[in-house]
């Protein structure tokens, strides 16, 4: 079992047991060295996702209102930056070696559209997030959105004007993935442990989903077992889906490690922001290890229990019991906590994650012994608000530059909120090595089999 406690209380972190995983873990070396940004080189250049993130963290804030999001093109290994109506800004982007793309919708317009959706279309079974690839808001409706609810959604989207938003139908049903997982049990529910942390008081603990934290106050590592941890803070629904649980035994050793299954683990070396186009891995107690791409940032999801804002949207599969499980990069950056979605690991679907950066900032914890925001500096320019999901706590908006869909990388967590949005910028790869890895799971983690 992945979350075993051994003498001296060494809790092996996160992710949950490896169910049906085929030897997952030959990790690529950290070979994504930053490349210099020569202003003299006006031709698009190939760069790693980490290098793209570093570039965007500087470039995004400089573009100001002309910046309209960004994403990492993993196939071409290029950073694509959206620019609204500014030839000088286009030239500035191209001179760095990134690819400037002229678009119609500014970040301000996309944020205003998201606010309209929040006011007119907060319908259970719907979600929306900024898609920097199309420069639109992608609105997703699950199979329960029918009749009058569908008409209301169509009307709200139509009121935004042509080219601002589009609707996608999902075959599944949005729900939290509360039941069925490996790691922790409480109140008759089962969830997955996300990442071990150290609280601001120096106590060992772990992060999991907020809807798990509100379901039970105490959690055990076995069904009907003795409690090992107590919930200290939980947010759900509202500005996120995260909870902090502290280990009842203060001698518990809680290493920053994710269990990949088959006896293999990955060290978590810091915290990063999600990025559209970035490859990420998700570990859950029900389905084990799987991977996919980030498809949207600052997503708003209208679950049956209520609306949650500020989430990361992906095409990574998940199932009940995976809630709270870790989402991370192959380099060992903690990115998110599994919240919910639609579909399963047979038919696919959409899955949403709580950004780790905002969860850590909210509960005052850090991953590791002294680098709560490791992985990224101050998030400057990173946290873009994210058109989509409301202001999610303010921090999200940090950095302004990376705004919604493409937030600047802001590498990391440092800034807490904003960084999270960095997502798009992150896009840039969020340090995640998105691009390189994206080409397949065979050179890194193997996907879940069966």
Rounded CA separation 203/246 (Å): 7
The answer to whether the bond into 237 is cis (omega within 30° of 0) is yes
Flag whether the pTM goes above 0.75: no
Three-class DSSP category at 4: coil
The reported pLDDT for the residue numbered 431 is: 36
Most confidently modeled of 175-179, 355-359, 440-444?
Answer: 355-359
Q: 421 falls in which pLDDT band (50, 70, 90)? A: very low
Q: State the DSSP H helix or E strand holding residue 175, giving kind and residue range, or none if neither.
A: strand 175-176
Residues 131-159 pLDDT 10s:
999 999 999 999 999 999 999 999 999 99
Residues 181-230 pLDDT 10s:
336 888 888 899 999 999 999 999 999 999 999 999 999 988 888 999 99
Residues 62-78 pLDDT 10s:
999 999 999 988 889 89
Could you give the residue numbers annotated as active site? 211, 241, 323
Rounded CA separation 62/32 (Å): 24
Asked whether the beta carbons of 103 and 83 are under 8 A apart, the reply is yes
Provide mean pLDDT across the span 240-261: 92
Asked whether the beta carbons of 223 and 188 are under 8 A apart, the reply is no
Residues 324-342 pLDDT 10s:
999 999 889 999 999 999 9
- The answer, yes or no, to whether residue 319 has pLDDT greater than 70, is yes
Q: 417: which 2 tokens?
A: 């909120």
More confident residue, 176 or 165: 165
> What Å distances lie between residue 105 and 49, 88, 164, 438, CA to CA?
25, 18, 7, 28
User: Rounded mean pLDDT of the chain?
Assistant: 76
Q: 388 falls in which pLDDT band (50, 70, 90)? A: very low
- The answer, yes or no, to whether residue 240 has pLDDT greater than 70, is yes
Rounded CA separation 100/295 (Å): 20
Q: Is the dihedral of CA 29, 296, 404, 240 positive or negative?
A: negative
- The answer, yes or no, to whether residue 95 has pLDDT greater than 80, is yes
Residues of the chain with CATH 2.40.10.10: 175-438
Provide mean pLDDT across the span 175-181: 55
Neighbours of 333 (CB within 10 A): 30
Residues 14-46 pLDDT 10s:
333 333 333 243 333 333 333 334 444 468 999
Rounded CA separation 85/186 (Å): 53
Percent of the chain exceeding pLDDT 90 equals 52
CATH for the 175-438 domain, from 3.50.50.60, 2.40.10.10, 3.10.20.340, 2.40.50.360: 2.40.10.10
The reported pLDDT for the residue numbered 27 is: 38
Residues 6+ apart with CB under 8 A from 257: 12, 13, 14, 196, 265, 266, 267, 268
- The answer, yes or no, to whether residue 299 has pLDDT greater than 90, is yes
Residues 6+ apart with CB under 8 A from 389: 114, 128, 129, 298, 299, 300, 309, 310, 311, 396
Alpha-helical (H) ranges within 26-81 are 49-63
The reported pLDDT for the residue numbered 183 is: 66
Q: 421: which 2 tokens?
A: 């949005």
- The answer, yes or no, to whether residue 346 has pLDDT greater than 70, is yes
Rounded CA separation 311/338 (Å): 10
């Amino acid at each position: 079992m992945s979350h075993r406690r051994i003498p001296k209380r060494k809790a092996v972190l996160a992710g949950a047991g490896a169910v049906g995983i085929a030897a997952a873990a030959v990790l690529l070396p950290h070979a994504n060295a930053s490349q210099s940004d020569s202003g003299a080189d006006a031709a698009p250049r190939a760069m790693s996702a980490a290098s793209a993130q570093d570039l965007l963290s500087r470039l995004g804030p400089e573009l100001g209102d002309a910046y309209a999001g960004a994403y990492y093109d993993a196939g071409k290994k290029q950073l694509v930056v959206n620019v609204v109506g500014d030839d000088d800004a286009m030239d500035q982007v191209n001179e760095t070696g990134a690819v400037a793309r002229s678009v119609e919708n500014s970040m301000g317009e996309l944020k205003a559209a998201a606010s309209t959706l929040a006011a007119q279309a907060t319908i259970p079974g719907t979600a929306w997030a900024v898609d920097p690839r199309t420069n639109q808001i992608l609105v997703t409706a699950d199979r329960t959105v029918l009749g009058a609810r569908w008409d209301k959604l169509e009307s709200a989207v139509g009121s935004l004007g042509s080219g601002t938003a589009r609707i996608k139908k999902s075959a599944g049903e949005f729900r939290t993935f509360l039941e069925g997982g490996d790691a922790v049990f409480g109140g008759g529910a089962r969830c997955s442990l996300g990442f071990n942390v150290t609280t601001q008081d120096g106590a060992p603990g772990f992060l999991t989903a907020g809807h798990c934290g509100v379901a039970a106050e105490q959690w055990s590592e076995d069904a009907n077992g003795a409690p090992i941890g107590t919930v200290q803070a939980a947010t759900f629904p509202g500005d996120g889906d995260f909870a902090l649980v502290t280990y009842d035994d203060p001698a518990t050793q809680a290493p920053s490690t994710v269990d990949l299954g088959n006896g293999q683990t990955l060290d978590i070396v810091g915290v990063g922001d999600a990025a559209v186009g970035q490859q990420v891995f998700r570990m859950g107690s029900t389905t084990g290890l799987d991977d996919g791409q980030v498809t949207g940032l600052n997503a708003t999801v209208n679950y049956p229990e209520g609306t949650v804002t500020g989430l990361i949207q992906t095409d990574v599969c998940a199932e009940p019991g995976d809630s709270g499980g870790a989402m991370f990069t192959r380099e060992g950056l903690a990115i998110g906590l599994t919240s919910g979605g639609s579909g399963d690991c047979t038919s696919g679907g959409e899955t949403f994650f709580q950004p780790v950066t905002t969860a850590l900032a909210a509960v005052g914890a850090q991953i590791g012994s002294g680098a709560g925001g490791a992985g990224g500096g101050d998030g400057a320019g990173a946290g873009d608000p994210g058109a989509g999901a409301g202001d999610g706590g303010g921090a999200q908006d940090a950095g302004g530059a990376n705004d919604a869909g493409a937030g600047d990388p802001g590498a990391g967590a440092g800034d807490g909120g904003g960084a999270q949005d960095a997502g798009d910028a992150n896009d840039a790869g969020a340090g995640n090595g998105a691009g390189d890895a994206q080409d397949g799971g065979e050179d890194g983690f193997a996907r879940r089999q069966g």
